[in-house]
Every structure is written in structure tokens, then in C-alpha cells.
């Protein structure tokens, strides 16, 4: 592109990136104290602006429950920062590694080093948490970073850029504009690592673009995460917990349960209990401040189409109001919807829902849920409910997913000591806590040769000495 035609934001992005690259190559890795200072400043950026972030996110959504922003975003970010600060000294310490006996008395060490410059492409659904949690990992690992917020949350993006600029030099941590030029160009920059959170469709495009520079990527995607109700489960308890996991952020959660697999005889009782818990939690009034709006008209229309398709193909629809009811639609709040007797032919079972719809499917044999899941792309999350430990362990052993919560939903994501990441179509790579530090660190192996080692015997001319050394190596292998 002709530089004269580029947007001002793209000019700034390119200049910031080049400056960060130059400094990452010319300056020593940040010390422990420098990294702790950056984490402290990031924490201050969040705590000093909590109310402003809550208001900006709510305005971008149309309405966002303040409680949901606090528990699912602010507190998780602050926990990540605290956890990283507490363990950072240990993570940064080089480690002695055992030396293969043939090379003794040489020494090995593993030395953590920053990769350099990290790009973060953030989504709109949890804009604070899914923007700053990767930034915590980047800072802890000693990297410089540039964040590209989602264009669907412009008020949040503007506020984030403002508060980060006040706390950080742009060579440490920067936030881009959200114009179209930035969106197209960001993934094409030769970052040392790129973290993308979003849909599988866009994730494929990001990976393809980044691959042209051989940029390693961490992809946090989505997919259809199942909830399995075992015959040993308490149906009412499972329904209550799934209702919460499904409707947090109005279902706009990448690890939300996407459908429920229920024993055939329990489908109707489960659906009725689920509907009852939904109404107890959120009532039937769209003005309920605990219930979050759908982020855009386009997303709302997509959900309407999914429900209409399911109804036309024979599903029973349970919801407190029709989606086109003006009391709901004007607030862009989609009525919580249970889709009973869903089938594989329905569009709602063929794409990630990302909204407050839960299809319920019946199964006959205990192996049916496992087979159903294994015929599809591997999910980002899986939820199992029941008390039969043997049945639980069979599901855990025979299915592959990004993560699992047993007898609840979502909470594996909040564990700072556990990795978060998908598999296959639901993502690649992982972060959170030490996993994020390692993802964004080069663990460099270093071999220190001893002057007493006989490695020179490997050099030509070989002759008899190599035969003796080969015999020794074989003996020790």
C-alpha cells in the first residue's frame, strides 16, 4: 500500500512495532524489578478505572451486567496479575538440567528469555479480561506487546488506549486504533508471537497470514462445547448449574455449554427444570439489570434465525417471550431459549451458538455421548454431571477437549495454575499463569563443555580412538 494512502493509525502501528522490535533486540531483557513494576502499573490501570471500564463495556453491549464484568473480567485479571507477581522470580530463574552421562562432567542449564514483541488480537465478548490476561503473560515473560482491541467495543477500546498510554511508554505496551486498516495489517506484522482469541473461522485466517512470517500463534477459539448429563446426575442440580454457565454474559462466552446431552427419559424433566432455573435467575422482564444484551443487531438477527430454523424443523422452543417482542428486541436482549428435541440437521447444531440458546438432545446408551462428541471437532470445553466415577473417567479418557469442569460449568477457566487452551479446531497453544509465561518465553538450552571431557576423540581422523569411544557410548546408552 502507498504510504500516503495509509490511515494515521496504521502509521502509528508500524512505527510502534518497529521501535519495539529495535529495543527488544538492542536492550537487555527486563529485570525482575522492571517486570514487577510493569505488572504493578497494569494493576493500577485496572483498579483506578474499574467503574469507567464497567460503563464503557455496558455501553458497547447496550447493557452489560456490572456484576458479570466484575466477576468474569476485573477479578480474573487482578488474580492473573497477583499470581504472576508472586511466582515471577521462580519462573525467571535459570535451571540446572541433568547432563547426559556420555558428556559428563559438562553442565546443562535452561535459561528463560523473552521472545521479543507479542501481538494480541482481542475479542469483544470479554474485552477487558481477554485483552489483559495475555498482556500479563507477555509482561511477565519480559516481552513488549501491542494490543488490537475489537471494533465491536469502540468505547472500551478508546478507554483502554487512554489508560494504557498514561501508565506505559508505547515501547513497553501499546493499544492500536480499531479501524479497518489496522484489522487487516495487524496479523501480517512479523511478531515474535501472536495471540488471537475469537472465532474458528477468523482464527484460520489469522494463522494463515501469520504463517507467511513463520510467526508462532496461540489461537483461543471456540466451537460447540457439550454438557453431558449422566444417568447418575441430579437433574435439578445439573439444570441449575448449566443455566448459569449458559447465560453468563447472555451466552456470549467461548466456553459456554453449547448443547446438552441428556438420557432420553430425562429430556423433558431436564428441559422444564432448566427453564425454571432460568426464570428464577433472570425473571421474564427484559429490563432485568442482571441480564446482558447481545452485542449487535447482526448477532441478534443470527440468533433469531437459529431459533426459527429449529422450530421449523420440529424442535419445541421454551422461552419467556418471542425474540421479536419489542420489549426484548429494543434492548437487544435475546430471551433465554431452551430448544428441546434438537436434531443434527438444525443450524443450531452445526455452528457455535454464542448466545442464550441451549439445544437439548436425548441419548440411549452410555457410549452415545462419547461417540457423538468424537464425530465432531474437538471442543474447547466439556462438562460432565453425575456421581458415577467410572462413567466420568470413561468420558475423560475417551474424549479430547481444551478443558473440563466436572459437575459445573466454566470454572476450569478461572484456575491460575491450570493452562487454558483449545485443541484442533478449538485452538492451539495455551496460557494462564506459568503456562502463559512459558508460551511467551524461549527456554534456551545451554551446554557448558568441560575441559576434562574427551569430546575431541570424536574429531577426524577417526582410527581406533573412535571405536573405543563408540563402545563406551553404547555401554552408557
CA distances from 348 to 224, 320, 339, 410 (A): 10, 19, 9, 21
Domains and CATH numbers, the chain: 3-221+428-442 (3.40.605.10), 225-421 (3.40.309.10)
Average pLDDT over residues 338-357: 96
Nearest to 435 by CA among 420, 422, 415: 420
- The one catalytic residue in 54, 220, 352, 434 is 220
Read off the C-alpha cell for 392.
466420568
What is the model's pLDDT at position 1? Answer: 45
User: Exposed e or buried b for every residue in 390-422, given b needs 16+ CB within 10 A?
Assistant: ebbebbeeebebbbbbebbbbebbeebeebbbb
Residue 220 among the catalytic residues: yes
- Report DSSP letters for 243-282, one per residue: HHHHHGGGG--TTSEEEEEEEGGGHHHHHHHHHHHHHHHH
Residues whose CB is less than 8 angstroms from the CB of residue 382 and which lie 6 or more positions away in sequence, other chains included: 225, 226, 227, 228, 373, 395, 399, 401, 403, 404
Indicate if the pLDDT at residue 151 is higher than 80: yes
Taking the CA of residue 121 as centre, how many other CA atoms within 13 Å lie in the half-sphere pointing to its CB?
27
**pLDDT tens, position by position, 86-95:** 999 999 999 9
Dihedral sign, Cα of residue 366, residue 369, residue 371, residue 372: positive
Indicate if the pLDDT at residue 9 is higher than 90: no
pLDDT band at 375 (very low <50, low <70, confident <90, very high): very high
**pLDDT tens, position by position, 183-193:** 889 999 999 99
What is the model's pLDDT at position 471? Answer: 77
What is the model's pLDDT at position 323? Answer: 84
Average pLDDT over residues 8-37: 95
What is the model's pLDDT at position 101? Answer: 81
What is the model's pLDDT at position 324? Answer: 87
Indicate if the pLDDT at residue 132 is higher than 70: yes
**pLDDT tens, position by position, 210-237:** 999 999 999 999 899 999 999 999 999 9
**pLDDT tens, position by position, 422-468:** 999 999 999 999 999 999 999 999 999 888 876 666 777 777 777 77
What is the model's pLDDT at position 85? Answer: 98
CA distances from 398 to 371, 381, 391, 424 (A): 9, 14, 11, 16
Q: What is the share, in percent, of the chain residues with pLDDT greater than 70?
A: 98
pLDDT band at 4 (very low <50, low <70, confident <90, very high): very low
What backbone phi and psi angles, to 5 degrees, belong to 258? -95, -25
Worst-scoring range by mean pLDDT, 60-64, 245-249, 323-327, 401-405? 323-327
**pLDDT tens, position by position, 403-429:** 999 999 999 999 999 999 999 999 999
Average pLDDT over residues 169-189: 92
pLDDT band at 339 (very low <50, low <70, confident <90, very high): very high
Element of type H or E holding 113: strand 107-114
What is the model's pLDDT at position 456? Answer: 67
User: Exposed e or buried b for every residue in 310-337, given b needs 16+ CB within 10 A?
Assistant: beeeebebbbbbebeeeebbebbbbbbb
Q: What is the share, in percent, of the chain residues with pLDDT greater than 90?
A: 87
Q: How far apart are CA 194 and CA 452, in angstroms?
A: 44
What is the model's pLDDT at position 97? Answer: 94
**pLDDT tens, position by position, 33-75:** 999 999 999 999 999 999 999 999 999 999 999 999 999 999 9
Amino acid at each position: 500500500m502507498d504510504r500516503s494512502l495509509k490511515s494515521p493509525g496504521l502509521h502509528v502501528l508500524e512505527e510502534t512495532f518497529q521501535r519495539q522490535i529495535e529495543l527488544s533486540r538492542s536492550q537487555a531483557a527486563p529485570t525482575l524489578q522492571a517486570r514487577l513494576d510493569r505488572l504493578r502499573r497494569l494493576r493500577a490501570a485496572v483498579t483506578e478505572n474499574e467503574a469507567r471500564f464497567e460503563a464503557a463495556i455496558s455501553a458497547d453491549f447496550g447493557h452489560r451486567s456490572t456484576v458479570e464484568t466484575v466477576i468474569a473480567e476485573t477479578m480474573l485479571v487482578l488474580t492473573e496479575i497477583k499470581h504472576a507477581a508472586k511466582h515471577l522470580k521462580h519462573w525467571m530463574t535459570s535451571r540446572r538440567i541433568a547432563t547426559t552421562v556420555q558428556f559428563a562432567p559438562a553442565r546443562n542449564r535452561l535459561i528463560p528469555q523473552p521472545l521479543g514483541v507479542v501481538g494480541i488480537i482481542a475479542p469483544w465478548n470479554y474485552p477487558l479480561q481477554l485483552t489483559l490476561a495475555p498482556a500479563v503473560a507477555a509482561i511477565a515473560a519480559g516481552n513488549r506487546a501491542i494490543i488490537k482491541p475489537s471494533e465491536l467495543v469502540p468505547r472500551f477500546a478508546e478507554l483502554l488506549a487512554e489508560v494504557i498510554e498514561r501508565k506505559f511508554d508505547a515501547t513497553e505496551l501499546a493499544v492500536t486504533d480499531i479501524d479497518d486498516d489496522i484489522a487487516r495489517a495487524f496479523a501480517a506484522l512479523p511478531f515474535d508471537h501472536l495471540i488471537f482469541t475469537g472465532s474458528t473461522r477468523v482464527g484460520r485466517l489469522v494463522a494463515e497470514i501469520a504463517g507467511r512470517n513463520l510467526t508462532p500463534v496461540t489461537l483461543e477459539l471456540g466451537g460447540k462445547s457439550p454438557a453431558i448429563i449422566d444417568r447418575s446426575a441430579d437433574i435439578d442440580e445439573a439444570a441449575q448449574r448449566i443455566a448459569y454457565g449458559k447465560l453468563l454474559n447472555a451466552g456470549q462466552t467461548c466456553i459456554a455449554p453449547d448443547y446438552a446431552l441428556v438420557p432420553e427419559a430425562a429430556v423433558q424433566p431436564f428441559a422444564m427444570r432448566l427453564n425454571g432455573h432460568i426464570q428464577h435467575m433472570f425473571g421474564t422482564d427484559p429490563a432485568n439489570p442482571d441480564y446482558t444484551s447481545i452485542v449487535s443487531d447482526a448477532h441478534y438477527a443470527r440468533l433469531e434465525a437459529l431459533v426459527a430454523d429449529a422450530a421449523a424443523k420440529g424442535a419445541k422452543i421454551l422461552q419467556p417471550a418471542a425474540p421479536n417482542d419489542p420489549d426484548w428486541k429494543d434492548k437487544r436482549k435475546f430471551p433465554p431459549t431452551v430448544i428441546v428435541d434438537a436434531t443434527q440437521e438444525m443450524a443450531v447444531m452445526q455452528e457455535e451458538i454464542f448466545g442464550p440458546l441451549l439445544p437439548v438432545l436425548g441419548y440411549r446408551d452410555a457410549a452415545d455421548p462419547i461417540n457423538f462428541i468424537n464425530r465432531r471437532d474437538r471442543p474447547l470445553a466439556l462438562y460432565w454431571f453425575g456421581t458415577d466415577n467410572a462413567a466420568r473417567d470413561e468420558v475423560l479418557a475417551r474424549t479430547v477437549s481444551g478443558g473440563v469442569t466436572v459437575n459445573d460449568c466454566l470454572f476450569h477457566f478461572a484456575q491460575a495454575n491450570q493452562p487454558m487452551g483449545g485443541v484442533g479446531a478449538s485452538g492451539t497453544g495455551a496460557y494462564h499463569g506459568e503456562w502463559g509465561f512459558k508460551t511467551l518465553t524461549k527456554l534456551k538450552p545451554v551446554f557448558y563443555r568441560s575441559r576434562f571431557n574427551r569430546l575431541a576423540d570424536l574429531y577426524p581422523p577417526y582410527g581406533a580412538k573412535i571405536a573405543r569411544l563408540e563402545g563406551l557410548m553404547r555401554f552408557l546408552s
